[in-house]
Structure 1
Amino acid sequence: MKLFNRMPAEVREAVTPPDRVLTYADGPDGYVIATDRALYIRGTRLPWFRVDRGLWDEEGLTVVTTSGEEHRALLPEPGRVPEAVRERVTASIVVSQYAPLDARGGVRLVARRTDDDRTVWEFVFDSGMDPEDPGLRALAEQALEEARRSFGV
């Protein structure tokens, strides 16, 4: 973790209060900044509960949001950013439970904690399943109610 007094002004200025910088890395696309509440990548603030996963390769970071958007930044020297992304995304997940729906497959029910301490749920349907299918949505909603009762969330 970099000390606050050594933090570049660009990093401090990019972060929206009350976010607190945990770590950052500089690359040709600019800074990638991990805070306690969000990831700042290429000028975009992504709250942790909206980040589904971070994918790393030798060139940099690709972040996939819960809505399926991808954000990519080149980071030849990522520092502690990969660990921070993994830790913060994992920390945002309250519940992750798979529920079979029918012969075609199932849905992962994921509850995430938001910045303001609310819980939001999302459905992650198996590949090839239509999330807009009313029958599948009804089965997923039923599975969600069971999960809420089971976990008290």
Structure 2
Amino acid sequence: MSILRRRDKQPQPEGLERGERVLASAALADGGVLAVTTYRLVVDGEQPERCPWHLVDGGGWRPERDEIWASFVDGREPGSWVLPDPGPVTDAFRERVQASVVLTEHVGVDRRDKARVVLRKDLATGALSVQTIYSEGADPDRPELKEQVDDALARLAEHVGLER
């Protein structure tokens, strides 16, 4: 018998892109698979999802529910998936979201009217994009907030040499 034990093979999702690798994966309670890949969050199951990391706003692990959740910046509904044995998925998830964040600036007029201006990188192509995420209840048309967002956009673009 070998001293080294062979690790169980990670479950693999369907339809990966050319060059995309699975960094961590786990079986879902519904029988599907959730995979953290080099380029995206991939879920094959009852709540399927395929989302590039630069469009994942945030997320995390809820240990009391054995659940990983994600929110998105492109208007899609937040998702959550039950993982009875998450293994390294939770750490890989956090690392991939953070890997897509280049710079962030928080701006705000008061407690209600706030926003995050985030420069993100598409991990598949390397392309940079700017996202503005307003706090719940914020008025994006408020002149003072709009001015602060525009100033933050200019600063972030200047940091990385993006033309506006």
What's the TM-score, normalizing by structure 2? Answer: 0.76
Match of 2:150 among 141, 147, 150: 141
Are 2:70 and 1:63 equivalent residues in the alignment? yes
Match of 1:72 among 47, 57, 80: 80
Deviations 1:68-104 (A, max 9, x none): 521111101101000000001001000011123x345
**Do the aligned partners of residues 56 and 21 (structure 1) sit closer, same or farther apart at CA in structure 2, a change above 3 Å counting?**
same
Matches within 5 A, 1:34-45: 34-41=36-43, 42=45, 43-45=48-50
Match of 1:129 among 126, 129, 138: 138
Q: Secondary structure at the match of 1:6?
A: coil
Would you say how many aligned residue pairs link Structure 1 and Structure 2? 147
Question: How far off is 1:143 after superposition?
Answer: 2.7
Q: Secondary structure at the match of 2:26?
A: strand
C-alpha distance in structure 1 between counterparts of 2:99 and 2:87, whole Å: 20
What's the TM-score, normalizing by structure 1? Answer: 0.81
RMSD: 2.5
Match of 1:118 among 127, 130, 140: 127
Deviations 1:20-56 (A, max 9, x none): 1111100223100111111112432111111111221
C-alpha distance in structure 1 between counterparts of 2:104 and 2:58, whole Å: 14
Name 2:35's counterpart in structure 1: 33
**Do the aligned partners of residues 130 and 79 (structure 1) sit closer, same or farther apart at CA in structure 2, a change above 3 Å counting?**
same
**Do the aligned partners of residues 22 and 99 (structure 1) sit closer, same or farther apart at CA in structure 2, a change above 3 Å counting?**
same
Q: Percent identical across equivalent pairs?
A: 30
User: Where do 5+ consecutive residues of structure 2 fail to align?
Assistant: 1-5
Residues 10, 24 of structure 2: 8 Å contact kept: no
Name 2:3's counterpart in structure 1: none
Give the stretch that moved more between structures: 113-122 or 141-150. 141-150
User: Where do 5+ consecutive residues of structure 1 fail to align?
Assistant: none
**Do the aligned partners of residues 95 and 23 (structure 1) sit closer, same or farther apart at CA in structure 2, a change above 3 Å counting?**
same
Residues 60, 94 of structure 2: 8 Å contact kept: no
Name 2:53's counterpart in structure 1: 48
